[in-house]
Amino acid sequence: MEGSKCFLNLMIIALYLSYFVQSLEIGETCSTSSQCDAGLSCQSCPANGNTGSTCTRIQPLNPTSKVNGLPFNQYSWLTTHNSYAITGVNSATGSLLLSPRNQEDSITNQLKNGVRGIMLDTYDFQNDVWLCHSTGGTCFNFTAFQPAINVLKEINDFLESNLSEIVTIILEDYVKAPNGLTKVFDASGLSKFQLPLSRMPKNGEDWPTVDDMVKQNQRLVVFTSKKDKEASEGFAYQWNYMVENQYGDDGMKEGSCPSRSESSSLDEKTRSLVFQNYFTSNPNSTQACADNSSPLISMMRTCHEAARLRWPNFIAVDFYQKSDGGGAAEAVDEANGRLTCGCDSLIYCKTNAPFGTCDAPPPKSAPSPVAGGKDSSQKPSNFPAGNADSTTIGLSSLVMISAASLLMW
Ligand SMILES: *[C@@H]1O[C@H](CO)[C@@H](O)[C@H](O)[C@H]1NC(C)=O
Ligand SMILES: *[C@@H]1O[C@H](CO)[C@@H](O)[C@H](O)[C@H]1NC(C)=O
Ligand SMILES: *[C@@H]1O[C@H](CO)[C@@H](O)[C@H](O)[C@H]1NC(C)=O
């Protein structure tokens, strides 16, 4: 009798276990993000006709995880457009904020999810430098998000606690105050990490290698859109180093990848960084999941042709977490696969193997997980960890319920 009671008890525990410790893979039906594997979130994409919620990627693989030590310009970095314009935040002035929003989580969280390109709009405001989304180069209370130093400090904290990470800041810069940028970068602590101008190649040569940037602790690359700041303050003028395609709706017309007016032509190889924009003129969180899916990857291939067979070093999107499955993370993995190891995605690269040595992709005919429900038998996780607390919550409730069921027995 004792034995069968014990067996029943174990069965009940096993049942609870299968219910609470679901660890669902990409594409599997879910109701909350905590059910999904690390690096995934539970979302639907009605704009693509997917009304049911499935586990969806929000984190790219670490670009340097398979092949380290290449020049900075041989990696691709996930980039958020208007990184600071976050849904639900108010203006630090206390005013109503009328500017559109492009992202949904804090800079700290973006960095945690593998975002490595941060796009900020900097303005003179209230005798300081602020992040605003305005017109005519003037910030108003109702277009002012917050003082730039707050966000720069978040980036500084990240670089201080993650000693092998590299971050790029791209400034749409309206600051005219003398040494305005220098002061706010100094005050945030970030200046100590800046890669100096003298190490940035001016004629399309390779950038320093990522491991050298890590070794020298020069793990922050900053670009400004203001030309004179290169001479006056030592901030790199973006268009001396980078080519970029058209942003907004005009950059989303299938089959063509024009360059934006400030940039040299995309095929200009004296600029060794390639930056790809892919977001609508008016940010639209409902549409973004569709845009960040196959059209993004398709445009990446079009721009690759336009940029003389160069894959983008930066892939900039709105609502970077939104997609119908792989999203911007998958696009960045594809670029890194092609850049670092010659495979279709970084997922198929072998660690430190010769260029072109690839793992075979899984067979395309695998049973469709969307229709398949909640089978959670074998779950190899290819994705970087990040969402550990969800598992912890699942486990602790499991322990409590198991304990309760033992007592009840
Ligand atoms: C803008 O906000 C500041 C507080 O940050 C306030 O002192 C000022 O009166 C506001 N200006 C206007 C025009 O509302
Ligand atoms: C960054 O550092 C934090 C704190 O040490 C750690 O939890 C996190 O995993 C690190 N992230 C990366 C991308 O290395
Ligand atoms: C946002 O996108 C959705 C889905 O494509 C569309 O129905 C809606 O009209 C768009 N909203 C705006 C303001 O353009």
**CATH superfamily label, 57-348:** Phosphatidylinositol (PI) phosphodiesterase (3.20.20.190)
Instruction: Name every residue whose Cβ is closer than 8 Å to that of residue 364 and which is 6 or more positions away in sequence.
Output: none
CATH 3.20.20.190-classified regions of the chain: 57-348
Q: Which atom of ligand 3 is nearest to the CA of 284?
A: 1
Comparing CA positions, the residue from 19, 23, 5, 16 lying closest to residue 404 is 16
Atom 2 in ligand 1: residue holding the nearest Cα: 93
The 10s digit of each residue's pLDDT in 327-386 is 999 999 999 999 999 999 999 999 988 999 999 877 665 444 443 333 333 333 344 433
User: Can you point out the beta strands (E) in 213-264?
Assistant: 220-224, 236-237, 242-244
**b/e map 253-274, b = 16+ CB within 10 Å:** eeeebebbeebeebeeeebbbb
Helical packing angle, 327-340 and 294-306, nearest 10°: 30
- The set of residues, in sequence order, having a beta carbon less than 8 Å from that of 204 and lying 6+ positions away, is 269, 270, 271, 272
Contacts of 261 (CB under 8 A, 6+ apart): none
Query: Is the separation of the CB atoms in 56 and 327 below 8 Å?
Result: yes
Residue 253 sits at the vertex; the CA angle it makes with 249 and 258, to the nearest 5 degrees, is 90
Cα–Cα distance, 229 to 138 (Å, whole number): 19
Ligand with the closest atom to the CA of 166: 2
Q: Which residue puts its alpha carbon closest to atom 11 of ligand 3?
A: 284
Cα 113 to ligand 2 centre (Å)? 10
User: Whose structure tokens read 């960084």?
Assistant: 273
List the chain residues with pLDDT less than 50: 1, 366-409
What is the 35 CA–ligand 2 centroid distance (Å)?
A: 22
Structure-block tokens of residue 3: 């034995």
Pocket test residue of 284, 293, 324 for ligand 3, highest count of atoms within 8 A of CB: 284
- Compute the CA torsion angle 257, 261, 266, 268 (nearest 10 deg): 160
Atom 5, ligand 2: which residue's CA is nearest? 161
